[in-house]
Amino acid sequence: MRFSLQREVFLKPLAQVVNVVERRQTLPVLANLLAQVSDGRLSLTGTDLEVEMVARTQVDDAEDGETTIPARKLFEIVRALPDGSKVTVSQSGDKVTVQAGRSRFTLASLPANDFPAIDDVETTERVQVPEAALKELIERTAFAMAQQDVRYYLNGLLFDLGDRRLRCVATDGHRLALCEAELEATVATKRQIIVPRKGVQELQRLLEGSDRELELEMDRSHLRVKRDDVTFTSKLIDGRFPDYEAVIPIGADREVRIDREVLRASLQRAAILSNEKYRGVRIEVSPGLLKISAHNPEQEEAQEEVEAETSVDDLAVGFNVNYLLDALSALREEHVILQLRDANSSALVREAGNERCRHVVMPLRL
């Protein structure tokens, strides 16, 4: 096997694949990436047996063949080479040589036959999604995924397909983030799949904000995302996601319309003096005004007043300030609407102009 290409061209697929490779491995070959050259195209594959990434690029001076190369070392070498270098990679026996100008590195390789392949995806559903739309859905919801929760199905992101929309939902039991996008074609069968945390993070890193169409393929246990230069596959969490629509507050008829950036800045300032453990802030609503207050065990206090469009009178609710800040950061419009019911009910936070993205935050008893 042999191929040559520019350092910058090589670095992009390497960077996409190397993140999937775990630093601590049970199988030595999992610390390597699989390099395959065929018909002038190089394909690089990395996997941790849960997530698999395959990146492809054109190469020059190519000899067909395949081997596995230590992923992290190869990436660090190519990254450290000078800009504009031409990199040549060649294999002889169980060694791989990387050459660029006067630099030469010899790496130990392992046989390509030892490299594990993720099971074939027996596609039961195929969906076309614009890349920018999928990127936005994940960015606006993934922060609300649980981390190492015993309810394992919360440690991932729900992809809910139905009619002509794709909806992403995440919850950790204290807050919920939901965002949806229209699809060009009607989905044949309604489907819900849960993509694990690592798969979501790798997908988020991979996606660019372009108008290219991605192809999403699903079967019972895998999600595969195809782009012209990359194929990403993740195993799914085998579990049932809670009925998230039941969590979205109904009858939260007390609305507060407010400038998103002003509210965010006020909450950030109040958070400085909130209790480090509970991160609680108290929000009091009166006509035309929103008051934010925070206390801590040292008897310190923060108070903020923000103008708001509302006729709600005499309502006070406590919230975890971090959850409110995360929700506001995920929204984009200038004005947001807080929908409240009473001191013991969840708040719904959404953009003033649409309900495509909604965030639910549970109240805190202060």
Work out how many domains the chain is built from and give that number: 3
Percent of the chain with pLDDT over 90: 89
The answer to whether position 119 is within a domain reads no
Confidence of residue 217 (pLDDT cuts 50, 70, 90): very high
Q: Do the beta carbons of residue 179 and residue 186 sit within 8 Å?
A: no
Same domain, 223 and 282: no
Helix (H, G, I), strand (E, B) or coil at 342: coil
311 has pLDDT over 80? yes
Q: Do the beta carbons of residue 36 and residue 89 sit within 8 Å?
A: no
CA distance 304 to 320: 16
140 has pLDDT over 90? yes
pLDDT tens-digit readout, 94-115:
999 999 999 999 999 999 999 9
The answer to whether position 293 is within a domain reads yes
pLDDT at 365: 87
Same domain, 109 and 134: no
Residue 122 corresponds to which tokens in the numbers above?
A: 């027996």
Same domain, 163 and 86: no
- The residue with greater pLDDT, 25 or 72, is 72
Domain boundary among 114, 149, 178: 114
What CATH number should be reported for the domain holding residue 293?
3.10.150.10
Helix (H, G, I), strand (E, B) or coil at 66: strand
pLDDT tens-digit readout, 314-331:
999 999 999 999 999 999
366 has pLDDT over 80? no
Domain boundary among 114, 142, 157: 114
Same domain, 102 and 130: no
Sign of CA dihedral 179, 184, 190, 196: negative
Helix (H, G, I), strand (E, B) or coil at 114: helix
Domain boundary among 195, 226, 245: 245
Q: List the domain range (segments joined by +) for residue 257.
A: 248-361
161 has pLDDT over 80? yes
CA distance 208 to 131: 7
Percent of the chain with pLDDT over 70: 100
263 has pLDDT over 90? yes
Helix (H, G, I), strand (E, B) or coil at 225: strand
117 has pLDDT over 90? no
Same domain, 272 and 291: yes
Same domain, 140 and 158: yes
22 has pLDDT over 90? no
